[in-house]
Structure 1
Amino acid sequence: MHPGRSRSHPRAGRPKAGHAIVLGAGIGGLCAARALSEHFEQVTVVERDVLPMPSGVRHGVPQGAHVHSLTPGGAEVLEEFFPGFTDELAAGGGTLAGALDELDIVFFGSRLRQVPLGRVLQVSRPFLEDRLRERVRALPGVGLRPGLEATAPIGAGPAGPDGPTGVRGVRLARPGGSGAEEAVEADLVVDAMGRAGRGAAWLRALGCQEPATARLTVDVAYASCRYRVPPGALGPAKGVLIGATQDRPRGAVLTRQEGDAWVLSLYGFGKDDHPPVSPERFLDFAGELLGAGASNALRAAEPITGISSYRYPASVRRDFHRLRRLPDGLVSTGDALCSLNPIYGAGMAVAALEARALRDCLDNGLPGLPRRFYRAAARAVRLPWLFSTMADRSMPQVPGTHPVVAGLLARAFRATMRAAAEDARVAAAVWNAVSLTGSPAELARPRVVASVLRHR
């Protein structure tokens, strides 16, 4: 079964029981809470930040000021969890853009042929998260406890010959260590605390090994600013994406979001190509990528925010599914399991797919859940990880890839995108792979391969 597809879910009508705790109220944590609400009588979401944040962008989501788009693969899962969610956000001001007919996309130097392929929801991260949090809080039995962080798991007795017997809760405290620590019991603890991997480190404290970690250093930095742009000043497209190339390791994403605001995010691989944060040099950097028309329109536009910067050092995948021993009662999800280079826009969709896998694995009960879930999650992240890391390894600025391998990958991507510029079927296959609405195996179909070979 492809990770973007799900069987019809038979959970409705079965009795709920027990308590689950989700650590982290980001996209991964909120989706996990929705999945758990079908199985547990009580679900508690614990968040270190105080909510809502006055500035909109949370301390725990430093990338929140930058471009976020909900690809069709992620939107499909959110619609399954929260019927009508996409249209609700669009009615609240979000922008629905046709993919690829209302987006101008340039990958590896070639502009993809414009083909109608569904809709992309373009919203800011705070806007999406706030409304998703409202939906989750409205679920029966679900509560939110902000301003608290998890300090340690509570083990369920001493470890036996086959490892620890499990986890029966978590210890909570105010950030900074002020106030008394609180022990909260739960039948399941879900670590959605992000890429730092605290849940993985907890395994060591429970007598298990930490999972092996795959890490690809990319050294990507972002800089972003939101603008108020006069209608029509940027042309008919609702979004522009200019990807990096081997000779020019820089990229730009310009999208219309809620409130008719536009956000411009610039990025670059390696220190020499990181985008500047001074307003004048920021727009000079953008002009080299977007061209004179868009550059002039942005210079004449009204900046709504200052320029925010964010650095992403490496993509990380933790192979929990390969561990011999796992305690019951504890699973990690979202960026705690797999964190992808954000330039490919798959992070939110992958977190939603993992939440769907968690819900489905719970049909067989709590005993053995971690192993079932990690195997299902590994299937969900395998293709996004492969696509992301192959694209990264085609960039000579990314260390650790042999120049010959980087050259071969670069030629393969360039040929594919040249074909996608002219052939609607190749363009659709590329988009389906990127947006997680189809399998990258579509790119290996004879008709697609023949077209790519003609353009190599």
Structure 2
Amino acid sequence: MNLARHRTGTAAGHAVVLGAGIAGLCAARALSEVFDRVTLVERDTLAGDGAPRRGVPQGAHVHSLTVRGAAVLEEFFPGFVDRLAADGAAVVTALSEVEIVFFGSLLHKVPVGTVLQAGRPFLEDRLREAVRAVPRITVLDGREAIAPLATTGNDRVVGVRLARPGLPGSTEDVDADLVVDAMGRAGRGAAWLEALGYRKPAEQRLRVDVAYASRRYLVPPGAAGPDHALLVGATPARPRGLVLTRQENDLWVLSLYGFGRPDHPPTEPGEFLRFAAELASGPIWEALRRAEPVTDVAAFGYPHSLRRHYHRLRRLPDGLISTGDAICSLNPIYGAGMTVAALQAAALRECLADGTRDLPRRFYRSAAKALRLPWLFSTLADRSMPQVPGTRPAFAALLGKSFRATMRAAATDPEVAAAVWNAVSLTASPAALARPRVVAATLRNWPRGSER
């Protein structure tokens, strides 16, 4: 059965998306182009009040929409970025208005594009409003997915069983031609495959043991000087980092992180600031020290990066796909999570343009291509940290030297700085770091003598 048509043709069928985070919202928008009904289901009650919600425990921490992520959202919702800016989101020129210290070197402040800085609840609330405005999409909150509904032979998923949390006997069955698991890294879609008699996808995990602590502050306009963000990355010798950014309506968020329990940031306010003071300096930091906190310190732990290789499965039922963190969850210190979710939705959109026949297999292969470089870049950076287990010490040391030399070159060379930024923000391929001129600049800064 081939229900979906080309996005410019007549749509048919019903799709159900489970999870109203960034991945689910973008997937619902892609599906609305080829299905005449899309139902977006969320376990949380969606208040739209700008507060972090239970289903997004990382919502209180720093989020930044990369240039690539903003471009994808703009394709789905023309004018969305301008609307965010009009509502108060900070539009910042990278790198000229951002101080970034990677592996001990301050990147050259060359202008390479704009970055949209806004809190996760602020951005998600407005993205949800844009999704609600699509005529074919209905949002159901306060309901959770219990199990898939399948044909007798389990060769096709034909719906999903929902329930209201905490209300026994509240189950309801919803028929669907396609069910999309966007419920996060817990991986219910993978468990459902096993329950239906299929193999679960192989999992690749990299234990990073990163913990966050964050607090929001109100900083008067102009008090922080010309810069609108400060990022101090962890190093192998000091596995701690800091991100301080201006977000919507002159609110700033300070997020601290550390690899391994001894370097996890504290949540007691005084200790929280002392931890930050070991990493930060300059006018932007002094302004924050005098600023008024508007929230308590929020904590969040991230045990491991995760990738599920759905694209390697030989057998898959029709009518069920997973997306977002359910496929790939990257260490959040690299700020790529929302962009990766949007890229997977873009891959889904392209696959749907050719119909729904063999959709799971085609989508997983397309998503794997989109995820290959973000996963490689993230995990290589993690493996340079000796606190991350599973990497041979010699290889971790080599990665650390390579990153340190690259960042030293990026401190004075605008081309290298731009290549680093484009790789981190997924604006361009990390392969640009292998250009002969960039490699030559890196080698000139390779540790020598006592540093070897």
TM-score by length of 1: 0.95
Q: CA RMSD in A?
A: 1.2
1:86 aligns with 2:88: no
CA distance in 2, matches of 1:56, 1:273: 28
CA distance in 2, matches of 1:294, 1:281: 19
Q: Give the drift of 1:365.
A: 1.7
CA distance in 2, matches of 1:416, 1:368: 43
- 1:16-72 CA distance string (max 9 Å, x none): 100000000000000000100101000000000001165711100000000000000
Q: Give the drift of 1:443.
A: 0.7
SS state at 2:116 partner = strand
1:140 corresponds in structure 2 to 135
1:257 aligns with 2:242: no
CA distance in 2, matches of 1:291, 1:216: 32
1:77 to 72, 75, 81: 72
1:281 aligns with 2:276: no
1:312 aligns with 2:297: no
SS state at 2:112 partner = strand
1:4 corresponds in structure 2 to none
Structure 2 unaligned spans of 5+: 447-452
Structure 1 unaligned spans of 5+: 1-9, 159-163
2:34 corresponds in structure 1 to 39
1:59 to 43, 49, 54: 54
Q: Give the drift of 1:382.
A: 0.6
2:214 corresponds in structure 1 to 224
1:5 corresponds in structure 2 to none
CA distance in 2, matches of 1:126, 1:145: 18
- 1:357-388 CA distance string (max 9 Å, x none): 00111122222100000000001111000000
1:342 aligns with 2:332: yes
1:109 aligns with 2:104: yes
2:192 corresponds in structure 1 to 202
Q: Counterpart of 1:107 in structure 2: which amino acid?
A: F
CA distance in 2, matches of 1:261, 1:218: 30
Q: Counterpart of 2:364 in structure 1: which amino acid?
A: Y
- Counting aligned pairs with the same residue, the percent is 67
1:167 corresponds in structure 2 to 157
SS state at 1:378 partner = helix
1:186 aligns with 2:181: no
Contact 2:7–2:34 (8 Å) recurs in 1 = no
Q: For the structure 1 residues 372 and 70, does the alpha-carbon distance in structure 2 shift closer, same or farther, using more than 3 Å as the test?
A: same
Contact 2:220–2:250 (8 Å) recurs in 1 = no
TM-score by length of 2: 0.96
Contact 2:212–2:265 (8 Å) recurs in 1 = yes
- How many residue pairs match? The answer is 442
SS state at 2:256 partner = strand
1:99 aligns with 2:100: no
Q: Give the drift of 1:179.
A: 3.3
Q: 219-228 vs 294-303, which deviates more?
A: 294-303
Q: Residues 306-455 of structure 1 correspond to what in structure 2 (within 5 A)? A: 306-455=296-445
- 1:168-226 CA distance string (max 9 Å, x none): 11000011353331110100000000000000100001110000000000000000001
CA distance in 1, matches of 2:312, 2:66: 29
2:450 corresponds in structure 1 to none
Contact 2:23–2:323 (8 Å) recurs in 1 = yes
- 1:73-122 CA distance string (max 9 Å, x none): 10110011111111110110000000111111111111111111111000
Q: For the structure 1 residues 451 and 354, does the alpha-carbon distance in structure 2 shift closer, same or farther, using more than 3 Å as the test?
A: same
